[in-house]
Structure 1
């Protein structure tokens, strides 16, 4: 730490001889204006004295070569030029703090900006890739999960509801810079119920800086929504109706009001989706419970109806010229009613056959309420300070009931008296989670070439959950002791970070940082007060980025980071959930945290991206792996640690403008992957090539028509020792701009190709010598999903990317079994 400190002191000494002029540029609503040129002029002849640009917070700092009279000129694309009043600097070395300079929008320039100066769809940064989707024809009426599926490097496991980025699980998901601390399956459910109507961009951060939480070995997916910044009162309304196997419908309404120092934002979204899927399983296994080797054929069909309600209210208040306060409250509710029909044939030894017919009715309900308060202030020394607090309450309840028959050829019940095979069973799972988050951040620009960031954060989480399965025997409901449990988990995570940015030369920028996180996790049984888990872990997470600007249009960046994937509450909980008469889902109290180190090299120019990512993981977490129960009478499906995983990933983005009305883009992400698994009866190492390919074609036609066709293809990959087959789909949409609003038609999985194959036992010997082939047909295999969407804005129509008050930070740590 001595070397960076010495460099800082030398830098301050060498650049402190000039008079410093600093201040902040804002819009008429008080929002910062980032990355606009600021020019310092001599007032007597308007010759140039110095020049620079605002940072992401709208702040600038310039150096005057000597005492005298000066003025500032600010001219940004989309804004009317502005000049400061003339001011005097009495002596060299004096600091002069300017009042805020307000820029007004230039509506003529903004109109041209849409046509001539649109930002590229894909942009590269030292932390990762930014994908702008606000203008996509396929966004409105879609869900956030649907848009993620079309993003380069992302694959979705539809059976187990999990995400992977560049072939790795352990993905952290943020919403507007706030981390969602949900179990992986709950995150996917949340995104599948979230409307993409107000989606601005998707950020895929594989090497985030020290200001981000270290959670997420594969990286961070940040979902960024839009908001209004126009004066007065504005509103928007989007309505969607559609059909696939079942009816679809969603709607979003937003209202904003801004009057200078105060702004109010409110939104409400509703989603209803009736859907269908089917699963076919061909399994061979050797289970002592059935007397030895057997062959099982299973057919499952699921019909479900999901309903979501999401509401949000936020208020921003410019307390003073230097300070702003934001308060926000959101409420989310979800309900999923489902019915599964299972039929199975068990071919046993001696040519005997058992027949299983079951109906499972489930009702999964969850709700969350979030409140947050953020304060941003700019100090007189030019530094900025942020303080924020979040409080989250999450609860869920998932009752289910099974009605089944399990009989032999003659119709006699199999396993009479055994609770595993009872004709009626019911499950229950209830969870309550409370999370409190507090954080402070401090940013100081020491000179034009040096800036430091530092911060502290504390997260306090309490989870209480109970779950179990009961069997109806002799007219009485009996608890299956191996499936019943109640647990309480308390977790505290404290973090501190410091980061420095140095502009070594006009073409060379260095960013280096260090983050320390200490986590203490305790899990107890409230009935017996037994301590089940007590873990303390403190780890340093360094990161480094070097950016070389090669030309005005291209740059080369090298980034290094270290990250972690901690087990969630659901991963550690040892109680189980029903799967079938001989299999249950469960957690693993012995699960360890996965640690990854990443090295990324990227070359980019406008819209073109070429990057190489090298990563090595120790103890990566692989979910839905197979193991045997201690009594060898049940198959456990749960998380396990792999020994290690190594990836070399190449990402290539190639846009192509065929003509003024036809543009296309191709994105390739993939490379060599390797892992070792020791949890299986026969340990194994596996090397393979995995990739994903995405392409988008956009046609801008006369009379304000637009057509977009996109396709994606994911090669075969592995979730632990489970092989997942290749999959892909083609989506299309057409949009018409009306005098008042727009209307569009979209078709998901136009060619009905979205089928998923999973293979167990294809890599090595699994528990009970299982060799399974699982085939899943999604709803669109029955019929493509067609949606018609109408939208309109009222008042001013400027929608922009949401500015986060809390820099680079996250939501809460939620976990839900």
Structure 2
């Protein structure tokens, strides 16, 4: 791979070592003409070779192909187009001073209105401008994220994967969400998409971002208001699938002079349900050995969230800005499940029926302070301090008629977790000279977590812990120190090189534990290099080559010693022995006008796999826990193709497909697997009349494999209709999610090798929309005045919020 990378870099740089054409542009009286477009074409067939813009002094320079005959074309607003006589180039050609003639016409007032495309390519990945989608109104951020290209959210576990890889880290405004997959989904479900500006899907982030996330980073960017005066928005949504949904959002902003204030409140309510069907065979010693079983779980869930956000920005002087932000989110989750089934043994048949009721509460607080100082016109210094506090506690009661040697007819499952994260970061940038910029920074993160969990039996009116392997009390501490440096170099107007490196040192330790195997003291120091080479082929097309290295540290939930009830023969738990995943990526991007093409090769060492069937401390009990695979290789191709057949019709199509290969050795026999999988997505937007818009969108995920399981493909289609009211009185929006009821997820466990329990299990999870599409009606309107854009700068903090 290193040889391939070296060869491609040489090819990129070789193009800049050919002949050169240069000159100067002026008007008829000798004034320089800046920012004019200069194009070099072959005179024989008008083939475009290179293009560039003239600088402030009117100078231009074009790097060319080998010796040939060329012509120069110049165009600029207010001037007549210029075409030179043909000339033969050997090594260099000086066109001298080219005088452009004015057109003699004066432009009147020009108002430019341009909507951002739904998807844009940026350094490190794709940007999805979510407000361009009719489906955004009334949706939660999690629902919008599930419709983003390459993003797959497991409907049952809430695990997020990007481009077929599960090691993805989620950020909110550049802050890592250091939470579990379930906690991340709860938080994103509590934020309405009305407050979101864009979603950045960064598969190969540069060195200024944290090195966490072998699949990359998903950065959710909230709206930033810059209108003077008082302004805001209000929206309300009501909906129904098989149960009711509702949300409301109010945001207010005040900007005057040096002060900017903003605040928002949103409420989210969702009652939903899901059906879990499982059947097959499994060797479960705790109930007597090999058994054939059927399992039926009918779940009903209720979520309520309240979120508050407020902030202040103050421009101290022309060079200094300070500010802060507070975010508080509180929510509750209730679930009621009726689970039943039977276990057929050689000499008996055990029936199982239980009523499971759970009640959980979460709170999330994030405080931020920032200061920005422009030392001079070339140097800037930014300081960011963040504090995160997340608490969750849940209690689950189980009433069952199933008897075994382990569980009593009544059990309870208690789980509590507290996470506190402190972060300090300093970033410095310096424009050393034209075309050469230095970026560097330091960052420290300290995290303290406490988790307690147990499954208890009711014996003679007293709750009694079952014993080893079903309870624990664990505290962990983690310290991460990081430093990075990036050099951005633009040798000419066509070539740019960004080379950087990030060094991170981490230490993870446990304070105490009920189980000796959970004591850990792990230290890791590693350098993560990155390089991005971008070459413009012409005014619209470009190539970019990048190489990055990343790490996925086990999340706090993966490491925690929690134990939670799953069914009479199995429990969920963490794995403090997990190793971090180290990933190397090489990526080539090609932008052809608005078409985007990417190909990336990655190698993961010790990839983290979730929910594996393994034995544990209690003999005969099935443990569902995360484990490390040996390695995984991926070769992935991504395509994003927009079309505009007519002024009233826009189309966006995308595809992500790849070849995957991995090896797993924690089963009794070695598992090797290679397979091909792909995802297709599309969005069709129609504007049949003024103030009306219709959107039809959908995606298809092919079958895929993970460890010892196979997931079948499925497709989801959505429809949205929007009506803008006259006189800026707001808009109505109707959305129908999963109109063909495709939310049925089928998987097979134990299909590739024999695990420790000889599992051969089929699972079918049916989400709410499989029974009936989810229909929502939203109304939103702007509030207050709308002055010109101004006000203090927004915080440029980049980095912190995701693991537990």
Going from structure 1 to structure 2, the CA distance change for 1:200 and 1:400 (only over 3 Å counts) comes to same
In structure 1, the residue corresponding to 2:235 is in which secondary structure? Answer: strand
Tell me the residue number matched to 1:30. Answer: none
- Equivalent pair of 1:161/1:189 in contact (CA under 8 Å): no
Query: In structure 2, what is the equivalent of residue 770 of structure 1?
Result: 759
* Residue 32 of structure 2, aligned match among 25, 31, 48: 48
Residue in structure 1 matched with residue 353 of structure 2 by the alignment: 357
- Which residue matches 1:135? 132
In the other structure, the counterpart of 1:168 is 165
Distance 1:531 1:609, change over 3 A: closer
Matches within 5 A, 1:304-703: 304-350=301-347, 352-380=348-376, 382-406=378-402, 414-415=403-404, 418=405, 420-482=406-468, 483-525=470-512, 532-703=519-690
Distance 2:311 2:373 in 1: 18
Question: Tell me, what secondary structure is at the counterpart of 1:768?
Answer: coil
Q: CA deviation at 1:387?
A: 0.5
* 8 Å Cα contact 1:226/1:802 also seen in 2: no
Indicate the SS of the match to 2:757. Answer: helix
CA distance in 1, matches of 2:26, 2:642: 44
Change (3 A) 1:529 1:342: closer
What CA distance in whole angstroms lies between the structure 1 residues aligned with 2:253 and 2:573?
A: 46
Distance 1:46 1:120, change over 3 A: farther
Alignment: residue pair count = 717
Task: Give the Å deviation of 1:184.
Answer: 2.2
Once the two structures are superposed, what CA deviation does each residue of 1:721-777 show, in whole Å capped at 9, x if it has no partner?
221211121000100000210001000000111110121101211221011101011
Greater CA deviation, 582-591 or 527-536?
A: 527-536
Measure, in 2, the Cα distance between the counterparts of 1:196 and 1:720: 34
Please list every run of 5 or more consecutive structure 2 residues that lacks an aligned counterpart in the other structure.
1-23, 38-54, 60-75, 78-106
Q: Residue 551 of structure 1 aligns to a residue in which SS?
A: coil
Structure 1 residues 171 and 799 mapped into 2: Cα distance closer, same or farther (>3 Å)? farther
CA distance in 2, matches of 1:798, 1:133: 24
Tell me the equivalent position of 1:809: 798
**Shift in Å, 1:344:** 1.1
Q: Secondary structure at the match of 1:189?
A: helix
- State how far apart, in whole Å, the 1-side matches of 2:589 and 2:494 are: 16
Contact 2:451 2:562 in 1 (8 A): no
Change (3 A) 1:471 1:795: same
Structure 1 runs of 4+ with >3 Å offset: 40-46, 49-53, 62-66, 106-110, 526-531, 796-808
Q: What does the per-residue CA deviation read over 1:621-674, in whole Å, with 9 as the maximum and x for residues that have no partner?
A: 011111012453110101000101111110111112121111111100011111
Q: Distance in 2 between matches of 1:801 and 1:245?
A: 46
Decide which moves more: 756-765 or 240-249.
Answer: 756-765
* 1:632 counterpart SS class: coil
Equivalent residue of 1:682, what SS? Answer: coil
Comparing 191-200 with 619-628, greater Cα deviation is found at: 191-200
Corresponding residue of 2:217: 220
Provide TM-score, normalisation by structure 1. 0.84
3-state SS of paired residue (1:633): coil
Contact 1:435–1:813, Cα closer than 8 Å, also in 2: no
Residues 684-740 of structure 1 show CA distances to partners (whole Å, capped at 9, x for unaligned) of: 111111110001100012131110000100011123322121112100010000021
Structure 2 residue 743 is matched with structure 1 residue 754: yes
- SS of 2:144's equivalent in the other structure is helix
Could you say which residue in structure 2 is the equivalent of 1:189? 186
Distance in 1 (alpha carbons) for counterparts of 2:787 and 2:199: 20
CA distance in 2, matches of 1:531, 1:191: 31
Cα 1:530–1:421, aligned 2, differ >3 Å: closer, same or farther?
closer
C-alpha offsets along residues 391-444 of structure 1, whole Å, 9 cap, x if unaligned? 1111111111100101xxxxxxx43xx3x2311000111111111100100000
| Distance in 2, Cα, partners of 1:602 & 1:804 | 32
Structure 1 residue 590: deviation in Å? 1.4
The alpha-carbon distance between structure 1 residues 152 and 306, as it changes in their structure 2 partners (threshold 3 A), is same
Q: Cα deviations across residues 215-243 of structure 1 (Å, max 9, x unaligned)?
A: 00000011112122111000210100000
Alignment match, 1:241: 238
* C-alpha deviation, 1:192, in angstroms: 2.4
The unaligned stretches of length 5 or more in structure 1 are: 1-39, 54-61, 67-74, 77-105, 407-413
Alpha-carbon RMSD? 2.7
- Select between 744-753 and 628-637 the one with higher mean Cα deviation: 628-637
Q: How many Å separate the matches in 1 of 2:666 and 2:788?
A: 51
- Change in Cα spacing, 1:251 to 1:505, as seen in structure 2 (3 Å) is same
- Separation (CA, whole Å) in 2 of partners of 1:802 and 1:603: 37
**How far apart are the structure 1 equivalents of 2:613 and 2:523?**
28
For 2:177, the equivalent position in structure 1 comes to 180
| Equivalent position SS for 2:666 | coil
- Secondary structure of the 1:758 match is strand
Contact 1:401 1:426 in 2 (8 A): yes
Q: Does 1:784 align with 2:773?
A: yes
Task: Decide which of 262, 265, 271 is 2:262's aligned counterpart.
Answer: 265
- Give the C-alpha shift of residue 573 in structure 1: 2.1
Which residue of 1 is the match for residue 721 of structure 2? 734
Contact 2:451 2:560 in 1 (8 A): no
1:500 CA drift (Å): 0.4
